[in-house]
Amino acid sequence: MPAAISVENLFASYDGKTVLNDVSFSIPRGASFALLGPNGAGKTTLVSILCTLRLPDRGTARISDFDVVRQPTKARETIGVVFQDSSLDDRLSAWENLEFHGLVHGLAPRLRRQRAEDVLALVELTEWSDEIVRSFSGGMRRRLEIARALMHQPTILFLDEPTVGLDPQTRQRIWSYLERLRREQHLTVLTTTHYIEEVESADQVCIIDHGQIIVQGTPADLKAAHGSRWLHVVPRDEATATEIAARYPQVQRLGTALALPVPDDAMADAFLATYRTRLEEIRFQEPTLESVFLSLTGRELRDRADGQRDAQRNAGRRGGQR
């Protein structure tokens, strides 16, 4: 069978600046695929091309074996999209939002009703179906957006930062919905996220930076090949930080903290013997996807979250999660 998503030698630019540089990858049907990268890495541009919202400069991209440039309408029929920023009409009820989406996709009246009932039940919003979306919490809105994206029974689902601004319980609930869909409907899911722990169970993880794919593989393979044990410390003063940076060239600065790769226990013991009394905080990090990302890019993914995301999280907390 053809791949669910196939990208070959894709290039894209804005105002003469290359945003995607010879990007190629393939996603099998039914797979969970995580696209990780800092802000400005090219993730949004790549997803926009795959969703037929913009054209590439060069290269090809196929969705369910439909070319996104030559057959955009056919490609759109097979995908559902949950954007990072809400696109619901908050003047309408939950049911009316789903009804409108069904009309856009040409679903017959009986099928629209059945699909709306099914997806509302999936995301546990049946009892709020007639409530105006404006009254919904951030978590309820995100669940409704997932329901709307599934109305026309797509085979591929794009999730752009699907759980940003949500509390841990709501985030877990959303991922349980998606995992159930993958099992029951063989749905292919492509996710971009700043919460790396959410994609530890993904089938494939792709790290992109400066418009290029750095590495791709299963989480286990990436951790085995690129993961490192790291020592994270917070020096008591800048003089100590400067001294450590000079002594250990591989140190990474993460705000006020420093991260050092730890090749063996002897290195850690020697470091702590010298600096323990001059440190405010000490913690070890075993190989994770976060450490893979840090090793390959020199920075932590979540530290790149911008002020807008922080504001969204705060708004989500103030609004509460039902």
| Residues 211, 237 within the same domain | no
Q: Taking the mean position of all CA atoms in its chain, how far away is CA 173?
A: 16
Predicted pLDDT at 81:
94
d(CA 80, CA 98): 13
d(CA 92, CA 194): 30
Domain assignment of residue 300, yes or no: no
Q: At 263, which CATH number?
A: 3.30.70
Tell me the pLDDT tens digit for each residue of 150-190: 999 999 999 988 887 788 888 888 888 888 888 888 899 99
| Residues 208, 233 within the same domain | no
Last residue of a domain, one of 218, 240, 256: 218
301 pLDDT band (50/70/90 cuts)? low
Tell me the pLDDT tens digit for each residue of 85-129: 888 999 999 999 999 999 999 999 999 999 999 999 988 999 999
* 105 or 197, higher pLDDT: 105
| Residues 79, 126 within the same domain | yes
Domain assignment of residue 312, yes or no: no
| Residues 243, 186 within the same domain | no
| Residues 80, 179 within the same domain | yes
How would you classify the pairing of strands 66-67 and 58-63?
Answer: antiparallel
| Residues 15, 158 within the same domain | yes
Domain assignment of residue 137, yes or no: yes
Q: Average pLDDT of the chain? A: 87
Closest residue by Cα to residue 200 from 174, 181, 222: 222
Domain assignment of residue 315, yes or no: no
Average pLDDT over residues 237-255: 92
Average pLDDT over residues 188-202: 87
In this structure, how many other beta carbons lie within 10 angstroms of the beta carbon of residue 78?
Answer: 17
| Residues 190, 50 within the same domain | yes
| Residues 139, 174 within the same domain | yes
| pTM, entire model | 0.77
Domain count, the chain: 2
Q: At 105, which CATH number?
A: 3.40.50.300
| Residues 204, 237 within the same domain | no
Q: Going by C-beta distance under 8 Å and a sequence separation of 6 or more, which residues neighbour residue 18?
A: 11, 12, 211
234 pLDDT band (50/70/90 cuts)? very high
Domain assignment of residue 294, yes or no: no
Domain assignment of residue 314, yes or no: no
Domain assignment of residue 200, yes or no: yes
- Spatial contact of 171 and 277, defined as CB atoms under 8 Å apart: no
Domain assignment of residue 321, yes or no: no
Last residue of a domain, one of 198, 218, 238: 218
Domain range for residue 210?
Answer: 5-218
Tell me the pLDDT tens digit for each residue of 208-225: 999 999 999 999 999 888
| Residues 176, 34 within the same domain | yes
| Residues 68, 204 within the same domain | yes
| Residues 160, 259 within the same domain | no
